[in-house]
Amino acid sequence: MDKPVRRLVLKSGAALFAAPLVARFARAAEYRIKIGSDTPPAYAMNVRIKEAAERIKTRTNGRVEMNVFPNSQLGSDMLNQVHSGSLDFFLSSSQLAVPLVPACALPGLAYGLKDTPAAFKALDGDVGAYLRGQMEKVGLFAIPAMMQGGWRQIISNKPIKSPDDLQGFKIRVPISPMWVSQFKALGASPTPISINELYTALQTKVVDGAENYPSLLYAMKLYEIQKYLSMTNHMWDGYWILGNQRMWAAMPKDLQAVITEEFTRSVLAQRDDMVKVDAAVPDQMTKAGITIINPDRETFRNKLKQAGYYAEWREKFGPQAWALLEKYTGPLG
C-alpha cells in the first residue's frame, strides 16, 4: 500500500476509536448524496461503498445520508450528470471519464502497467495526482484512493489465441477512445455499447464477443451465452469515486474528512476483496462451461506496435503524461 494512502487509513481508524459515542441520527440529514454505479448490486465495489455510506451516516450523526444506485439505474450518462451537478458521485472506470478528462485514458494503455502492484503504485502516486489535477480543471474531483477494476480479458464464442483471430471480430467495448483505438489496431471491429445492453447485444449477435474483468463477466452471467475466455490481459483499469467539485467545495471540511476517510477505508477493503475474487473466477468460469485460453500476449503487443498504436497515444498524451507513465512501465512502444 502506498504510504500516503496507508497514513490516511490509519488516521481514519484513530478517528473512529477516538470519536465519542453519540445518539444515532439525532438530526435530519443536511446532505443527501446520490452515488451512481454501472456494475451489479452484489459487485464488491457497490457492497463496500454501501458500507462506507452507513459508517459516514453514523460518524456524522445523520448529517450525511448516502444512497447507492447500482446497475446503471440512473442511466448511461452518469459522467455528465456528475459534471452538471445532478448526480453527486459516480463510481467511474478511469476510461469512462475520458470524454471530459482525456488524460484519464493513461492507466489503460495496452500492455503498459505490468501488474496490479505497479498499477496501484502509479495511481496512488504521481500518476494519480496528475489525473486528479486534470479532473479539477473541468469541475470534477476524485477521492485519492482508486478501486480495483483489474485486468481485462476477452469473452467470445470462438477461441482468441492471437491477433489473427480478431480480424473483423465485432467486439463490444465501452464508449471510450482508448478501447476503440486498441481494438482497431488489433484488426477487430470495436463496437461501443453501454454495459447494461451487453447481455442482449451478445445474445442477439449484434457483437461477437466482449472484453472486461472476468469477475464482472461472471457477475453478469455471460457464461450462459459464451464459450471461451481468452486471458489477453490487454488492459488494466481502476475505478475512481468521482464527484462534482461544486458539491464537494460547498461541504464543510469536517464532513469532507469523514467521507474521504471512510471511502478510502472501503476502497482498500475492495482491493483485498478483488484479490480473492479474481483468484476464484477462472475456476468458477470453468465450472460454468467456459474454456479458458492462455494466448501469447507478446503477439498482441507486437501487433499494436506495428499498427502505430503507441506512437499515436504518445502524441495524444504529450511528453509530461507519457514520462509519468513510463516511470512505472519502463519504455513503451
The pLDDT value given to residue 15? 44
Q: Which CATH number fits domain 3-317: 3.40.50.300, 1.10.620.20, 3.30.365.10, 3.40.190.170?
A: 3.40.190.170
Q: Which residue has 499515436 as its cell numbers?
A: 312
pLDDT, one tens digit per residue, over 165-191 is: 999 999 999 888 999 999 999 999 999
62 Rama class: left (phi>0) / alpha (psi -120 to 50) / beta:
left
Of 104, 7, 15, 96, nearest to 55 (Cα)? 15
What letter represents residue 195's amino acid?
A: I
The dihedral region occupied by 306, where left means phi > 0, alpha psi between -120 and 50, and beta the remainder, is alpha
CA-closest candidate to residue 258, choices 77, 93, 12: 12
Report whether 259 contacts 56 (CB < 8 A). Answer: yes
Indicate left, alpha or beta for 170 from its phi (over 0: left) and psi (-120 to 50: alpha).
beta
Number of residues in the chain? 333
Asked if 141 and 179 touch (Cβ cutoff 8 Å), the reply is: no
- DSSP per residue over 215-279, as a string? HHHHHTTGGGT--EEEEEEEEEEEEEEEEEHHHHHTS-HHHHHHHHHHHHHHHHHHHHHHHHHHH
Residues of the chain with pLDDT under 50: 2, 4, 6-25
Contact between 27 and 63 (Cβ < 8 Å): yes
What 255-260 contacts at long range (C-beta under 8 Å, 24+ apart), as own/partner pairs, is: 255/31, 255/60, 255/63, 255/64, 258/15, 258/56, 258/59, 258/60, 258/64, 259/56, 259/64, 260/8, 260/143, 260/144
Q: What is the pLDDT of residue 27?
A: 64
Per-domain residue ranges of the chain: 3-317
Alpha helix ranges (H) inside the chain: 3-18, 44-59, 78-84, 116-123, 126-136, 177-185, 198-203, 214-219, 245-249, 253-287, 297-306, 309-317, 319-329
Between the CA of residue 228 and those of 22, 107, 232, 277, what are the distances in Å?
54, 26, 12, 19
pTM attached to this predicted model: 0.87
